[in-house]
């Protein structure tokens, strides 16, 4: 199976960031839809996408797509797909998740049950078996129905790709690693610039930034479901992808990445997570209230996920918190600030209208990514050697 379609789901509103990542890996984009990007690749692409993509939630191997408006049609068209090309006789297969939007078939449990029966019928005919042991590698399916169009993919990742392996313990209301990475990639921040998260919680923003700065691939220290699909993907390709990632690491660099939080226990968790990610030496964590936020350098970045006040009793504290954050920001000369929050009065109490505002769904929660842009730093003069090139 040399060429295959791969589907990479992502957070709604961040498809362009994921598209750029996939193009940077060298793969052809086939389609960009709400919440997912489809691209063309081979068995090696499955491995490299899982290891290198920072903003994808998982990588699905597309089996097919078709229109279905009745359960009979769903059964027959699922049965017509070439399941034997993917699932061996002893493979364990099931529909792990089905989602339906604006479609006549809308019951996830019925969709899952009928599609499983159709797959069994197809494989019985192809393998001449009445019963399947299902004691081999796992092949979990994910199915999307959108306006009666059914898209079927086998999940190559297993656990969501936001689970990098470094964050076993989280503080309150953590932001996922994939979302944090995508938001950083939406800013002009580069590894030679200052980055401070004044509400760092378990450290996700600083850790993801440090991993980018050190060129540490997000998936190089975890496992994937498709590692056991040896009939489709040779083991060597996984080793090659991880070795490629290892060769790119450059963690002996100078950075100015800082994370602050008012809770000392949370700071301890953030330090532990950074240590697990291999970037503890690149980040300075400190217990500090947002009111004490200051920095002597210019042209830095604040990238943060301040409290939203999702619980009613916490909302009363938000005006003062955002007011203090805005005042601290105004004391920072030439800095830019980026914050994701669902708090609708964020700009009002921050004291400035955002230059840009992007709506992003954090799970089912509608949030806004407010972007307050400072001036660009002056261009550095070229060295004599650069002038001779």
> DSSP letter string over 227-239?
GG-TTTS-HHHHH
DSSP 8-state symbol, 281: G
Asked if pLDDT for residue 311 goes beyond 90, the answer is no
Which tens digits make up the pLDDT trace of 251-278?
999 999 999 999 999 999 999 999 999 9
Given a cut of 60, whether residue 388 has pLDDT beyond it is: no
CATH domain 4-155 topology: VC0802-like (3.30.2130)
Residue 179 CB contacts under 8 Å (≥ 6 apart), including other chains = 11, 14, 162, 340, 360, 362
State the span(s) of the chain assigned CATH 3.40.50.150: 177-218+232-372
The DSSP result for 250-262, as a single string, is -------EEEEES
Listed residue (151, 172, 145) closest to 262, CA to CA = 172
| Cβ-contact 120, 92 below 8 angstroms | no
Return mean pLDDT, the chain. Answer: 94
More confident residue, 381 or 376: 376
Mean pLDDT throughout 57-76?
Answer: 98
The residue among 389 and 21 whose pLDDT is bigger is 21
CATH topology of domain 177-218+232-372: Rossmann fold (3.40.50)
Percent of all residues in the chain with a pLDDT value above 70, rounded to a whole number: 95
CB-based contact 197:303 (threshold 8 Å): yes
192-205 per-position pLDDT tens digit:
999 999 999 999 99
d(CA 144, CA 334): 45
Domain with CATH 3.30.2130.30 in the chain: 4-155
Rounded to a whole number of angstroms, the distance between the first and last alpha carbons of the chain is 46
39-49 pLDDT, tens digit per residue, is 999 999 999 99
DSSP 87-126: --TT-EEEEEEEEEES-S---HHHHHHHHHHHHHHHHHHH
Q: Which whole number is the average pLDDT over 97-106?
A: 96
The predicted structure's pLDDT at residue 315: 83
- Cα separation, 112 vs 274, whole angstroms: 39
% residues pLDDT > 90 (the chain)? 90
3-state secondary structure of 191: coil
The more confident residue out of 100 and 379 is: 100
User: Pairing relation of β-strands 92-101 and 195-197?
Assistant: unpaired
Residue 389 reports pLDDT greater than 50: no
169 — pLDDT class (breaks 50, 70, 90): low
């Amino acid at each position: 199976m040399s060429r295959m379609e791969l589907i990479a789901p992502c957070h709604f509103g961040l498809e362009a960031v994921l598209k750029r990542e996939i193009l940077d890996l060298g793969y052809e984009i086939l389609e960009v839809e709400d919440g997912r990007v489809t691209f063309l690749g081979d068995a090696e692409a499955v491995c490299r996408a899982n290891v290198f993509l920072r903003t994808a939630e998982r990588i699905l191997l597309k089996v097919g797509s078709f229109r279905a408006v009745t359960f009979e049609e769903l059964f027959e068209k699922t049965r017509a797909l070439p399941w034997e090309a993917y699932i061996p006789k002893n493979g364990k297969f099931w529909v792990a998740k089905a989602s339906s939007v604006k479609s006549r078939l809308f019951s996830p449990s019925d969709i899952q049950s009928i599609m499983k029966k159709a797959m069994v019928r197809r494989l019985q005919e192809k393998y001449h078996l009445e019963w399947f042991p299902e004691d081999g590698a796992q092949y979990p399916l994910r199915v999307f129905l959108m306006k009666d169009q059914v898209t079927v993919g086998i999940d190559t990742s297993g656990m969501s790709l936001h689970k990098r392996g470094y964050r076993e313990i989280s503080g309150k209301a953590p932001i996922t690693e994939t979302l944090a990475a995508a938001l950083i990639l939406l800013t002009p921040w580069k590894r030679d610039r200052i980055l401070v998260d004044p509400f760092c919680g378990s450290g996700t923003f600083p850790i993801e930034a440090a991993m980018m700065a050190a060129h540490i691939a997000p998936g190089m220290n975890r496992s994937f479901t498709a590692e056991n699909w040896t009939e489709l993907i040779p083991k060597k390709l996984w080793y090659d992808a991880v070795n490629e990632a290892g060769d790119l690491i450059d963690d002996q660099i100078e950075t100015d990445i800082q994370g602050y939080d008012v809770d000392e226990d949370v700071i301890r968790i953030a330090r532990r997570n950074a240590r697990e990610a291999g970037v503890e030496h690149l980040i300075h964590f400190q217990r500090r209230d947002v009111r004490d936020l200051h920095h002597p350098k210019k042209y830095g970045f604040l990238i943060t996920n301040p409290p939203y006040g999702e619980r009613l009793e916490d909302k009363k504290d938000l005006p003062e918190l955002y007011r203090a954050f805005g005042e601290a920001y105004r004391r920072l000369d030439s800095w830019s600030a980026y914050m994701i929050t669902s708090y609708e009065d964020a700009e009002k109490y921050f004291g400035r209208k955002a230059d840009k505002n992007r709506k992003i769904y954090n799970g089912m929660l509608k949030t806004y990514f407010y972007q307050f842009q400072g001036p660009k730093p002056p261009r550095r003069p070229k060295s004599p050697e650069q002038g001779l090139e």
